[in-house]
Amino acid sequence: MNVTDPYCLTLALFSLTFVLSLAIRYLRKPKGDQLPPGPTGWPIIGNLFQMVMNQPTHLWIQRVMENMQTEIACFRFAGVHVIAVTSSEIAREVLREKDEALADRADSYSGNLISHGYKDIIFSPCGESWKLMKKVMVTKLMSPTTLNKLLGDRTLEADNIVTYIFTQCRSMTKSVNVRDVALTYCHAVMMRMMFGQRHFEEPAEDGGLGQKEREHMDAIYQAIDCFFSSSISNYISCLRGWNIDGEEAKLREAVDIINMCNDPIIHERMHLWRNKGGKETEEDWLDTLIMLKDDHGMPLFTFDEIRAQCKS
């Protein structure tokens, strides 16, 4: 190998940077941390190699915890500590008593892309922005007044799904797919409450989802699958954007489809409310997000924050 070759020098520099970044993150770990027991890992990379070699990861974690006879365990993937809990009592303590200490969301490529830079309530780290979005969610979007106002939309979709099932049952050539029925109803209710409409384009003749709605729903579940996948780039930040295991390409495609469906509606509605005076009343969640004002009378959320909220 010619060490003067620019390609070789670049590869060597990248490898050195990669190893040093892992070492720095490993050495920065406080020595006095009280962490739950976990499987023995390798220096620097921890249990990352074991995770890659034992897919799916959640089943491997469960087997390890069963072998260790523990209901709480700590797995170290490079510089990230992942604590798994199988006990309902411990989970209750984590979610209630220790909520403030454990409220931060882990930094990840998928979370950053889906939330447009952690601008929504699900993926954003605990802080003033997250507290503001949580307050909006509790007092505005999910308040009893708003839910009662949107009861008619949910009732309408309940009637629609019954009609859809009836249509499927009348067809002698088709069997009723319960999963498809449940997804159709959930997507329709979500669309009604968020955007005030069921379809992006023309409705399907059988009362189910149209082609664009089905693409939208499939993209949502693809993004969720990518978020919960055990991608190496979630734990080694310098590998993000390289599509090492193919998950990043799938995620980008899914997010592009969601944006392609959602963005025109958000743009049109923002133009309607902020440039043309809006409608008589706020009819759905999107109207509420657009019309919220801060203490100075300025819009509370930007376009990116609204589109991030529409995904959560």
Q: Could you tell me the mean pLDDT of each successive run of 10 residues in the chain, 312 residues long?
A: 52 52 49 76 86 88 93 88 88 79 76 89 84 90 91 92 85 76 92 91 79 93 86 82 85 95 94 81 91 90 93 80
22 and 236 Cβ atoms separated by less than 8 Å: yes
Q: What is the pLDDT of residue 1?
A: 47
287 and 96 Cβ atoms separated by less than 8 Å: no
Q: Where are the domains of the chain?
A: 6-102, 138-311
Tokens in use for 158? 């309940």
Q: What is the pLDDT of residue 7?
A: 55
Spell out the SS3 assignment of 191-246: HHHHHCCCCCCCCCCCCCCCHHHHHHHHHHHHHHHHHHCCCHHHCCHHHCCCCCCC
Q: What is the pLDDT of residue 187?
A: 93
Q: What is the pLDDT of residue 5?
A: 58
Burial of 235 (0-12, 13-18, 19+ CB in 10 A): buried
- pTM recorded for the entire structure: 0.81
Q: State the distance between the two ends of the chain, measured CA to CA, in whole angstroms.
A: 51
Tokens in use for 172? 């002698």
CB atoms within 10 A of CB 216: 21
Tokens in use for 72? 């709480």
Distance (Å, whole) CA 163 – CA 270: 34
Q: What is the pLDDT of residue 24?
A: 47
170 and 207 Cβ atoms separated by less than 8 Å: no
Cα→Cα distances 89→63, 70, 71, 93, 94, Å: 20, 13, 10, 6, 9
Q: Which CATH class is domain 138-311?
A: mainly alpha
Give the contacts of 299 (CB within 8 A, at least 6 positions apart).
274, 290, 292, 293
54 and 62 Cβ atoms separated by less than 8 Å: no
CA 169 to chain centre: 35
Q: What is the pLDDT of residue 98?
A: 74
